[in-house]
Chain A
Amino acid sequence: MPRDEAVASGGIGKAVKRREDVRFLTGKGTYTDDMNRPDQTYCVFLRSNVAHGQITRVDTAAASAMPGVVRIFTGEDIAAAGLGGVPCGWEITSSNGEKMKEPAHPILAQGKVRHVGDPIAAVVAESREAAKDAAEAIGLEIEEMGAVVNMTTAIQGHGAPVHDEAEDNLCYDWDLGDKDATDAAFANATHVTTLEFVNNRMIPNAMEPRAAIGEYDAARDQHTLYTTSQNPHVIRLLMGAFVLNIPEHKLRVMAPDVGGGFGSKIFHYAEEAFVTWASKEIGRPIKWTAERSESFVTDAHGRDHVTKAELAMDSEGKFLALRADTLANMGAYLSTFAPCVPTWLHGTLLAGQYAHPAVHCRVRAVFTNTVPVDAYRGAGRPEATYLLERLINKAAQEIGLDQVEIRRRNFIRPDQFPYDTPVALQYDTGNYLATLARALEMADYAGFNARKAESAARGKLRGIGLSCYIEACGIAPSSLVGALGARAGLYEAASVRVNPTGSVSVFTGSHSHGQGHETTFAQVVADRLGIPYESIEIVHGDTDRVPFGMGTYGSRSLAVGGTAIVNAVDKVIAKGKKIAAHLMEASEADVVFEDGQYKVAGTDKAKAFGEVSLAAYVPHQYPIEDIEPGLEETAFYDPKNFTFPAGSYLCEVEVDPDTGKIEVLGFWAADDFGNVVNPMIVEGQVHGGLVQGLGQAFIENCVYDENGQLPSGSYMDYAMPRAGDFPSFEVDTCVTACTHNPLGVKGCGEAGAIGAPPALVNAVVDALSAYGVDHIDMPLSPQKVWATIQAAKPAMAAE
C-alpha cells in the first residue's frame, strides 16, 4: 500500500476509531476481576475502623475454624516472614539538608493502626462470602489514640504523633527559589495580593475498583501477579526487590484491561504484595477485589493542600514576585510518588505562563491519620495552577484590571523561548497569547457583558472565569529527577518486532487504561513505516512480553513511550536499509526509505518493506557475514526535558442569589499539546479531565471528621460528577510543536483536571464580585455560595 493510503487508513493526525472499543462494547474486555484462576481462593482484609490506635488483641481462632476458611494471616505472620514494607519511590531533602522522614509501611499493621482502612488481617477462604464472614468473626481490640487530622495543629505536635520518628508530624520542610530576591521584590512592590485557601482533598474513584490475583507455580518456582496497575514493570521492581525479595525472572506482573487509573493505580499497594506472597504460602491462587467502600479507604487520595500565596506587583500590574507557603497532606504513610507531588510537581510550576522575576515556595509535608495522599490526575500541577490563577484573579480584582489584561501584561512572550523560570524549569516552546485568543474567541468573551445584563434582568448573577495553565509533562529526564530525589529513572522502553511477512508487533512499556494506545501507537508506527495501520499490533501490560517500562502517568505515554517506539522503528529502518542495499546490489548510503519502500536514490529500484523483512528471516540471499538475521529492535528513550502543554480555559456560570445554586453555562478550552496524533482521542482526554477538574471545584470533597472517620466514604456521600451536572464543552487546540522529541508532542491527559478548577471558581467569584466577594474555597456547594452572599449583603447595604 502506498504511504498515502496507509496514512489515510490510520496515520498521524487522523481521528481513527479505536480498535480497543469492540471488545469493551461487546462485554469481552478482560479486567482483573473478570479472571478466575484454577483452584483459586478469595481474600478479604479485616481493616481498622479506628484512625489511630494500638492493637491489643487479634484473635483469629474462632474465625479460622469457620467453614471454607483456608488460612488467616496477621501482621505477626508478615513480620515472621521478614517481608519488607511498602516502599516509597522518592526521597525529598529538607531545606536544612535532612532527609525526609520515611516511616515503615507494613503490609499488615504491626502493633499500631494509622488510618481507617489500615489492613490488620487477611482471610483467605474458598469463597468471597466465607472470607467476609470469617473476617467479621475475628476478635479485635484496639486501644484508641487521638487522631491527627488537621495539618495546622498536627505540626504543632499536640498529642500522639502518627509516627514516633516524626514528633511534629513533619515529613519534610522543603523550599525552592530565591528567597532573598523574592523578599526584596515584595519590599519594593506597589501592591501585594494575598490569598489563603484550601485545595480540597479528592478521592480518585476510577470506576474499576482495584483487584489482584496472586499465583505461584511450584514446579517452575514462578510467581504471577495480575493487578490493576498503570505500570506493571514498576510494580514488579518495587514489590520484587523491596517487599518480597523475588528476582525479576521469577515474577511476572500482568495488568490486563484496567478500568481507569487517574494516578491511583500507579502506586504499589499492600494488597498486591500480600496475594503474591500468600499464594505461595497456601499453594493456591488468591484473588482480592476491592469493594467500593474499601476503595474509598485504601486507594491513595489526591490534593489536600492548605496554602498562603502572595503576589507582588508594580503600579502597572506587572508581577514582581510570587511567594507560596503550603502544608501538604501525606496521610498516614508515604505512597510511591507522594513526596514529589507537592514539591517537584508543584513548586516548579509556580511561574505558570508568566515572566515572574522571582518565586519562592515552601512546602511542609505532614503525616496525618488519613489514607495516604499521592498523585491524582495532574498531581501537584493542578494545585500550582489553582494557586496562581486564583491569586491572579484576586489581584486583578484588587487593582481594577480585567482578568485578561493582567495576564497579557505578564505572559512570557513567544519570542522568549526557550525560557528559564526562577523555579528550575526551562520551557522549550509555547504561545500563550494564541491559546488565550482562541479561548476568548470561542467563548465570545466580548459579548459577555450583554449576556450578564440579560441574566441580571432575570435576577441572576452571571460570571466568567479565565484560567491559563501550564504543566510539566513527558516525565521525565532521568538524571534530572534523580538529582531531585527520584529513586528510579523515568525513561521508557519499546521493542518493535517485524514479523517475517511484514506485520509488526510493538511491545511498549506504557500502559493503556482508557487512553487508547492500542490505536494511537499503531498510528504512529503506520506513519513512520508507511505500512497499513491494520498490520500493526500494540502489546502492553505484561512484564514477560514487554522488555521493560516505567508505565503511564504524568501525560508521558506518547511523548516518552511514543518516542521510544519511534526510536525502535528507526533502528528497524536502519537495519532494513543494509539488507535492502544487499538485495538491490547498491551501496547502503544510496538507499532511502520512503512510502514503505526501500529505494535506491535516483533509480527505479525498490524493495517493499515486507520483502526486506522476509529476507531478514529467510536469509538465503543476505549479507549474513555482516548482519544478523531477524528484524527486531529495542529502544530505551530518556527525555531531554519535560514537555510543557499549556492552554487557556474559560468558564461561564450563572448563580441564583436566592439559593446559591450554580449553573455552568459553558466551558471553552484552547490547549497547546504540540502535534496531535488522534484528535478524537485528544478531545476525549480533555473532556474527561475537565469533568474531573470541575468536579473538584463544584461538588467533590473528601471530608474527615476530627476522629479521622471518613463521612464521605461512599457514593451516597462523596459527590461524583454525573452526566447532568455540566453542559457539553467546546475544545480546540493550537500547536507549537515540542522541540525535543521527534513527534513534537507534549501530552494531553491531565490538562483538563489542571485548568478547570480555577476557571470555575474565578467565574463564580466574578459573578459575586458585586457583593465584594473575592474568594470561596472549593467545592462551591450551593449552601456555601448562599452563605457567602448572605454574609456579604449587610456589607453591601452599609456602603
Chain B
Amino acid sequence: MPTVSMTVNGKAVASDVEGRTLLVDFLRENLRLTGTHVGCDTLQCGACVVHVNGDSVKACSMLALSAEGAEITTIEGIANPDGSLSVLQRAFQDHHGLQCGFCTPGMVMSAADLLKRNANPSEREVREWLEGNLCRCTGYHNIVKAILAAAAEMRGEKIAAE
C-alpha cells in the first residue's frame, strides 16, 4: 500500500492508504476527523468541503494520494487558536444558520473561502457561491444571513443578530 503524507490542521500526518481511498474517507477513517461529512456519491452536496492549500475543495472529489504534501484544513481546524468560535462560526450560531448540522461543516468551509476572496459579497453573490452546498433544513435564508453578517463583522462593521 502506498503512503501519503500531508499537513492537516497544522499537524503533519502520514499513513498507508489504498490507491482508491478518497481524501474524505482518509480524513474520516484514518484520521478520525469526522466533522467532514459525506452526503452524496455524485460530488453534489458539499457536506465534505475542506480547504486544500487554502482553497475550498470537495474532499470526495479527490484521492487521498493526490493530496500528497498538501496543507489541509477541516472544520476541526478553523476555530480561533484559543478554541473559541471564529467570527464565521459564531455568525452561524448567532443567526441560526444551522439546524441538524450535517451540511454545516461544508457550508462554513465553503463560506470561509468566499469571504477570503470577496470581503463584501452581495446576497446574490453569497447565494451563487453556495451553489455546490446543499442544505435540506434551513432553506438557506439564515445561512446567507450568517455569512453576510460575518463578512460585515470581518470588515469591522457590526450587524445585530435579531
Q: Chain A interface (Cβ within 8 Å of chain B)?
A: 15, 17-18, 20-31, 33-34, 36, 129, 205-209, 257-260, 262, 291-293, 513-516, 680-681, 683-684, 687-692, 714-716, 720-724, 726, 728-729, 752
* Contact between B85 and A33, CB atoms less than 8 A apart: no
A726 touches B42 (CB 8 A): no
State the main secondary structure of chain B at its contact with A: loop
> B39: which A residues are within 8 A, CB to CB?
207-209, 292
Is B139 a contact of A690 with CB atoms below 8 Å? yes
- In the bound complex, residues from chain B placing their C-beta under 8 Å from that of A724 are 124, 127-128, 130-131
B36 within 8 A of A: yes
**A21 — which chain B residues lie within 8 A by C-beta?**
92-93, 98, 101
CA–CA, A681 and B137, complex, Å: 12
- Is there contact, CB below 8 Å, between A207 and B138? no
Cα–Cα, bound, A515→B137 (Å): 9
- Residue numbers in A under 8 Å from B37 (CB-CB): 31, 207-208, 259
Least distance between B117 CB and chain A CB atoms (Å): 17
Could you say which of B61-69, B141-149, B151-159 contacts chain A?
A: B141-149
B residues 98-145 in Cβ contact with A at 8 Å: 98-105, 108, 123-124, 126-128, 130-131, 133-145
Q: Is the CB of A722 within 8 A of B38?
A: no
| A293 vs B144: C-alpha distance when bound (angstroms) | 28
- Tell whether, in the assembled complex, residue B101 and residue A257 are in contact, meaning their CB atoms are under 8 Å apart: yes
Nearest residue, chain A, Cβ from B89: A25
Q: Is the CB of A722 within 8 A of B130?
A: yes
Closest chain-B Cβ to A757's Cβ sits at a distance in Å of 14
If the complex has contacts A715-B45, A752-B139, are A208 and B100 also in contact, measured as CB distance less than 8 A? yes
| CB-defined contacts of B16 to chain A, threshold 8 Å | none
* Contact A515 B45, beta carbon cutoff 8 Å: no
Given contact pairs A26-B75, A716-B42, A726-B140, A515 touches B130 in the complex (Cβ within 8 A): no
**11 A-B contacts, Cβ less than 8 Å apart?**
A25-B75, A27-B75, A259-B101, A687-B140, A688-B137, A714-B42, A716-B42, A722-B134, A722-B140, A723-B131, A726-B139
A25 and B98 in contact, given A207-B135, A729-B141 (Cβ under 8 angstroms): yes
How many angstroms from the CA of A714 to the CA of B43 in the assembled complex? 10
Smallest distance from the beta carbon of B123 to chain A beta carbons, Å?
7
Residues of B within 8 A of A292 (CB): 39-42, 45
Contact B100 A259 (CB under 8 A): yes
Closest chain-A Cβ to B135's Cβ sits at a distance in Å of 7
Query: What residues of A have a CB within 8 angstroms of the CB of B141 in the complex?
Result: 684, 687, 691, 728-729
B136→A692 contact, CB < 8 A: yes
Q: Tell me, rounded to whole Å, the shortest Cβ–Cβ distance linking B89 to chain A.
A: 4
**Known interface pairs A262-B136, A687-B142; A715-B93 also in contact (CB < 8 Å):** no
The answer to whether B136 touches A728 (Cβ under 8 A) is no
Tell which of A20, A258, A262, A728 has the most Cβ of chain B within 10 Å. Answer: A728
Instruction: Give min CB distance, B139 to chain A, whole Å.
Output: 4
Counting chain B CB atoms within 10 Å of each CB, the highest count among A20, A23, A715 belongs to A715
In the bound complex, what is the Cα–Cα distance between A58 and B79 (angstroms)? Answer: 52
Known: A21-B101, A207-B100. 11 other contacts (CB 8 A): A26-B35, A26-B75, A207-B137, A259-B103, A514-B100, A680-B162, A681-B96, A684-B141, A687-B139, A691-B139, A728-B141
CB-CB under 8 A from A258, the residues of chain B are 100
Q: Which of B98, B128, B145 is most buried by chain A, counting CB atoms within 10 A of its CB?
A: B98
Interchain residue pairs A-B with the least CB separation, the first 7: A27-B35, A24-B101, A259-B102, A514-B100, A691-B139, A514-B99, A715-B44
Question: What's the Cα separation between A259 and B37 when bound, in Å?
Answer: 10
Tell me the complex Cα distance, A721–B44, Å: 12
Let me know if B57 is at the binding interface, CB within 8 A.
no
* Cβ contacts under 8 Å, A207 to chain B: 37, 39, 45, 47, 100, 102-103, 134-137
B138 touches A688 (CB 8 A): yes
Q: Which residues of chain B are near A28, meaning CB under 8 Å?
A: 35, 76
Contact B76 A26 (CB under 8 A): yes
Q: What residues of chain A lie closer than 8 Å to B101, measured between beta carbons?
A: 20-21, 23-25, 29, 257, 259, 514
Q: Given that A15-B162, A691-B140, A728-B123 are known contacts, is A720 also in contact with B35, CB under 8 Å in the complex?
A: no
Contacts of B140 in A (CB 8 A): 687, 691, 721-723, 726
Most-contacted residue by chain B among A24, A291, A515 (CB, 10 A): A24
When chains A and B are docked, how far (Å) is the Cα of A28 from the Cα of B98?
14
Nearest-CB distance from A687 to chain B (Å)? Answer: 4
Pair B96/A29 contact, Cβ less than 8 Å: no
The chain B residue sitting closest to A292, CB to CB, is: B40
Interchain CB contact under 8 A, B96 and A684:
yes
Contact of A720 with B85 at beta-carbon distance under 8 Å, contacts A22-B93, A27-B74, A726-B140 already known: no
Q: Are B162 and A260 in contact (CB under 8 A)?
A: no
Q: Which of B33, B98, B137, B139 contacts A729 (CB 8 A)?
A: B139
Question: Would you call A25 and B85 a contact (CB within 8 A)?
Answer: yes
B residues sitting closer than 8 Å to A (CB atoms) are: 18, 20, 28-29, 33-42, 44-45, 47, 74-76, 79, 85, 89, 92-94, 96, 98-105, 108, 123-124, 126-128, 130-131, 133-145, 162
Measured CB to CB, the closest approach of chain A to B49, in angstroms, equals 12
Q: Which of chain B's residues have a CB closer than 8 A to the CB of A260? A: 99-100, 102, 136-137
**A27-B131 contact given A21-B93, A687-B141, CB 8 Å threshold:** no
Asked if B99 and A723 sit within 8 Å, CB to CB, the answer is no
A590 to B73, CA, bound (A): 62
C-alpha gap A722/B139 in the complex (Å)? 8
Please report the C-alpha to C-alpha distance between residue A291 and residue B18 in the assembled complex, in whole angstroms: 20
Question: Which B residues are CB-close (under 8 A) to A692?
Answer: 136, 139
Query: Considering only CB atoms, which chain B residue lies closest to A25 in the complex?
Result: B89
Rounded to whole angstroms, the CA-CA distance of A22 and B42 in the bound complex is 29
What is the distance, in angstroms, from A496's C-beta to the closest C-beta of chain B?
A: 26
Q: How far is the CA of A692 from the CA of B135 in the complex (A)?
A: 10
Residue of A nearest to B85 (CB): A25
> Which chain B positions have C-beta within 8 A of A726?
139-140
Residues in chain B near residue A29, CB distance under 8 A: 35, 101-102
Residues of A within 8 Å of B126, CB to CB, are 723
Give the distance in Å from the alpha carbon of A752 to the alpha carbon of B139 in the complex.
10
Q: Name the B residues within 8 Å of A681 (CB-CB).
A: 96
Do B41 and A293 touch across chains, with their CB atoms under 8 A apart? yes
The minimal Cβ–Cβ distance linking B110 to chain A, given in whole angstroms, is 10
B93 touches A25 (CB 8 A): yes
Distance, CA A492 to CA B124, complexed state (A): 43
Closest to A685 in B: B99
Residues of A within 8 A of B128 (CB): 723-724
Return B15 CB to nearest CB of chain A, in Å.
15
Closest CB of chain A to B114's CB: distance in Å? Answer: 11
CB contacts (< 8 Å) of A129 on chain B: these are 18, 20
B63 CB → nearest A CB, Å: 14
A27 to B85, CA, bound (A): 12
Q: Name B105's closest neighbour in chain A (CB-CB).
A: A27
A528→B39 CA distance, assembly (Å): 40
Report if A720-B34 is in contact (Cβ < 8 Å); known contacts: A260-B100, A514-B101: no
A515 touches B99 (CB 8 A): yes
The answer on a CB contact under 8 Å between A688 and B139 is: yes
Chain B residue nearest to A24 (CB atoms) is: B101
In the bound complex, residues from chain A placing their C-beta under 8 Å from that of B108 are: 25
Question: CA of A36 to CA of B29 in the docked complex: distance in angstroms?
Answer: 9
Q: How far is the CA of A15 from the CA of B105 in the complex (A)?
A: 23
Q: A18-B93, A21-B98, A209-B39 are in contact. Are A723 and B133 (CB under 8 A)?
A: yes
CB of A291 within 8 A of CB of B138, answer no
B126 CB, min distance to chain A CBs, angstroms: 7
| Nearest CB in chain A: distance from B142 CB, A | 6
Q: How far is the CB of A310 from chain B (nearest CB, A)?
A: 34
Asked if B134 and A25 make an inter-chain contact with CB atoms under 8 angstroms apart, the answer reads no
A13 to B: closest C-beta gap in Å: 14
| Of A25, A680, A689, A752, the contact of B104 (CB 8 Å cutoff) | A25
Instruction: Report the bound CA distance from A205 to B133 in whole Å.
Output: 14
Q: Is there an interface contact between A684 and B138, defined as CB atoms closer than 8 Å?
A: yes
Alpha-carbon gap, A692 to B142, bound state (A): 15
What are the residues of chain B within 8 A of A15 when measuring CB–CB? 162
- Nearest A residue to B101 via CB reads A24
CB of B96 within 8 A of CB of A683, answer yes
B39 to chain A, nearest CB (A): 5
